[in-house]
Structure 1
Amino acid sequence: GASDRFVAMAALLTRVSSVPSRTPRAPGPFFHRGATAASVGPSSRRRRACPSKPTKASAEGAASPAAETASDDAADADDDAWGPWDPPLPPLDPHPPILSWYVARDLIEEWGEIANSAEDIVIASLDFDVSTVELRLTEDGVRFPDADPRSPPLVTWPDVVAIARDEKGAYVLREGERAERFQVFSEGTSRAVSLMPSGPGLAPTALIAGFSMHRFGVGVDPMEDTARKIAAVAPIRKGARVLDICTGLAYTASMARERGGDVTTVELDPAMTEMCRMNPHSAALFSGDIRQLYGNAADVVPTLPDDSFDRIIHDPPTFALAGELFSEEFYGHLARILRKKGRLYHYIGDPASKSAGNVARGVVTRLKQAGFGGVAIDYDAHGIVATLDGHVKINGSTKPRGQKYRGKDQL
C-alpha cells in the first residue's frame, strides 16, 4: 500500500547519499563557428583559458586567433542582412532527458499516491519545464510509456531519491545507466561548471566554483534578472545592433534577440557553450540568429568597428577575476563602438552593498574619463547605465529599496 511505499522511500533516503558523477574532463578542440579541424591550425585550437591581461604577442601588436576571427566577423556587422550564422556547436537532437530535484520529489510523491490505483502514468518535465512528457512509474524505476518493460528503467528509484536531495545539480538520464550529474570542465577556471536548477517553472543558472551566475531568490529568478538588464537599455528596436559581452548561458543574448535586436555575443570560455547546448533555455544561441564570437573581450572588443552598436550589455565576472574589463582603456573601446544615441549597461552587483558600491564609484569615474557623458546607477538591474550624449533615462530604480533617492545616484 501507500504506507509501504513511503517506508521503502525513507529507507532509500537513509542509504543513498548522492549520485556519483563522472570525473570532469576537458572538452576537445573547440573551433570558431563554421570552422573545421582541417581549416584551423594547431596553434589556434586552444583558446586562452581565463580572463587575464593581454598576451605578450597581443601587447606587441600581433592579433590572437580569437581576435582575428572576431575582426573577420566584425566586417560583416555593417551588412544590411543579419545572419543566418552557423551555430557555435551542433544542437543536441534529440536532447537528452534531464532530471532536477523538484521533479524527482514530485515523482516520489506520485509513486506513493498511485499505490492503490491502476493508473501508473504521470506527467513531468525533463527539460527544466520547457515541455512535459508522460512517464510510467514501476517497481524498479521510471520509464517512458512505450519502453520495453523488460528493459532497464530510464532512472532507478535509488537515483531518483538521490537527485531529490541535490538542489544544486541537474542529472542526465540514459536508459540502463546511472543518472549522471551534468558538468563540464572549464579550462578557464580549472574547475567544473554545472547547471543548477532554480526551482519549478524557472530556467536554471550555472554554478561556477560554487557561485551562481545569476541572482535569484527573493522574487528574482535568472530570467527576471536578465529582463532587468535588458530593461536597463530599453527600448531595443527591430534591427538594433546589440553587443552582449560575456555570453554565459545566453539568456541576455536570447532575450535581446526576442526584442528584435541583431545580437553579437562574446564568450571567453567554450565550456559555457557546452552548458548552453545542454540547457533547453539556451536554445536560441544555436538558432542561427545570434552571432557568437570567442576570446577575451579585452582582446575582441578593440577589433570591432567604430559606431557599430546601438546597445551594449556588459556583464563581466567580478573585478578580481577580470580587472581588464573594468579598465578605462576597455571603456574607451566601448565608447568608440557605441553609436551616438546608444546605451551601455554595465553589471556591477548590488550597488547598495559595500563591495559593489566601492566598485561602482571607480566604474563611474572611469566611464566618464573614457567619454561617457551621462552615467547613472540602476538599482533594479544591479548595474550602471551610461550614454555618450549625457542624457540618461533609468527604466528601473535609481535608489536602493527602502531608502530615499540620493542625488549622487545620478552621476
Structure 2
Amino acid sequence: MILLSAYQARKFLPAGDKATASLDLGLTESEIRREGEYFIFPDGQKLGIADIKKIIKKDTMCFLVENSSIIQVAIFSEELQRYYKLVPTGYRTPPTIEISGIRMHVTKKFSPLEDTKQKINFVAPCTGTVLDTCCGLGYTAIKAAETAEIVYTIEIDPNVAELQKINPWSKELFDNKKIKMIIGDAFAEIKKFPNAFFDRVIHDPPRLALSTLLYSQEFYNQLYRVMKPGGKLYHYTGDPGSKKRGMDIRAGIIKRLEKAGFRNMQRVFNGVTAEKL
C-alpha cells in the first residue's frame, strides 16, 4: 500500500532518473524511478507529474495510490453526516484525523507523536494494565504498549476504524499482541470490566458537544470503579471556548471526578489528572 502527502510528493519533482522518498507517510524510505513524465514505484505502479502536482496542491490531504491512480483518504458518513479525512502533519510525522473540520490532535504546536507522549507522561510510569477509552488512530494505545503489560483500547466509530486500516502509523494496533482492540461504545463497554482492573487510564473523548455521556457523572463513576487504588487518570479536555466565551470546562470535570471519588485533581496542559487513592 502506497500513501503520499504533499510532504513526500515534493521530493519527487527535483528528481533526475531516481529519487528517494517515503511511500508510507514517513515511516520508511523507498527508491522511485523516473521515466519521462512518469514516476515508477517499487510495486510497478506509476504516477504522472500531473498527479504529483495535484497531491502537492492539496496539502491537507493524504492520498492512496491504487491501480496507478490517486485516491483521497477521506470518508463521508451519510448516517452521521460527518466528513473524515487523514491530514498530514509533516514528512516524518504521523497524520491526524480531521472530522468535519475538527482535528483530533494538537497539531499547531506539536506533532501527533509529541501530543501522545505528553498524554502518556501525565500518567507516568505507564505500566500494568492500561485503558485507552477512545482509540482514534491508536497512537496512545501504541505508545502506552511500549511500557504497559497490556492495553485495552475502545473505538466506537466504524469510519475511524477504516482509517486505522489504511494509516501505516496505526499498523501496531493490529500487530501488537499487547493491544486489545474493542469495537464499541466506551460508555457501555466500561461496565463490562471488573472492579479495580486498570492501573492507568487515558480518557481522550471527542469534544463535549459530540459525546456528552463520556463527560457524565455516571461515566466518571465507572472510571473510578474499574481503576485500582493508586491508579492514575489523564482526562484530555482541550481548551474549547475558554478564550471566546469564558468557559471553563475543566472546572465541571474536576467537580464530577471528585464526586466519583477521585483525589489530587490537577489542571495540566489541555486536560486534568486525577488519582484513585
Mapped contact 2:126–2:144 kept (Cα < 8 A)? yes
Question: Alpha carbons of 1:260 and 1:388: their partners in 2 closer, same or farther (altered >3 Å)?
Answer: closer
User: Quick check: 1:345 aligned with 2:242?
Assistant: no
In structure 1, C-alpha distance between the alignment counterparts of 2:49 and 2:40, rounded to whole Å:
11
Matching residue of 1:378: 268
What is the DSSP-based 3-state SS (H/G/I as helix, E as strand, rest coil) of the residue aligned with 1:265? strand
Is contact 2:149–2:178 with CA below 8 Å preserved after alignment?
A: no
1:249 to 126, 137, 148: 137
How far apart are the structure 1 equivalents of 2:4 and 2:37?
17
Candidates 213, 218, 221, aligned match of 1:329 = 218
Q: In 2, Cα distance between the equivalents of 1:188 and 1:346?
A: 29
Determine which structure has more spread, i.e. the larger CA radius of gyration: 1
Alignment of 1:296-311 (within 5 A): 296-311=185-200
Which residue of 263, 274, 289 maps to 2:162? Answer: 274
Deviation at 1:102, TM superposition (A): 1.4
Q: Which TM-score applies when normalising by structure 2? A: 0.93
SS at match of 1:320: helix
Q: State the AA in 2 paired with 1:99.
A: L
Q: Does 1:264 align with 2:152?
A: yes
Counterparts of 1:306 and 1:228, CA distance in 2: 27
Structure 1: runs of 5 or more not aligned: 1-95, 115-119, 148-152, 390-411
More relative contact order, 1 or 2 (CA 8 Å, 6+ apart)? 1
Partner of 2:102: 211
User: What amino acid is the match of 2:102?
Assistant: F
Q: What amino acid does structure 2 have at the position aligned with 1:342?
A: G
CA deviation digits over 1:32-63, x for unaligned, max 9? Answer: xxxxxxxxxxxxxxxxxxxxxxxxxxxxxxxx
Letter in 2 for 1:331: Y
User: Could you tell me how far 1:353 is from its partner in structure 2?
Assistant: 3.7
> Which residue is equivalent to 1:194?
85
Is the CA contact 1:121–1:145 (under 8 Å) kept in the aligned structure 2?
A: no
- Work out whether 1:143 is the aligned partner of 2:40: yes
Structure 1 segments, 4+ long, off by >2 Å, are: 144-147, 184-192, 350-357
* Structure 1 or 2: more strand by fraction: 2
Choose which of 165, 168, 171 in structure 1 pairs with 2:57: 165
Does 1:229 pair with 2:147? no
Counterpart of 2:7 (choices 102, 116, 121) is 102
- Confirm or deny: 8 A CA contact 2:11 2:19 kept in the other structure: no
Q: What residue ranges of structure 2 are gaps of 5+ in the alignment?
A: none
TM-score, structure 1 normalization: 0.64
**Number of matched residues?**
275
In the TM superposition, residue 146 of structure 1 has moved relative to its aligned partner by 7.8
Aligned residues with identical type, % of pairs: 36
- Which residue identity is paired with 2:13? I
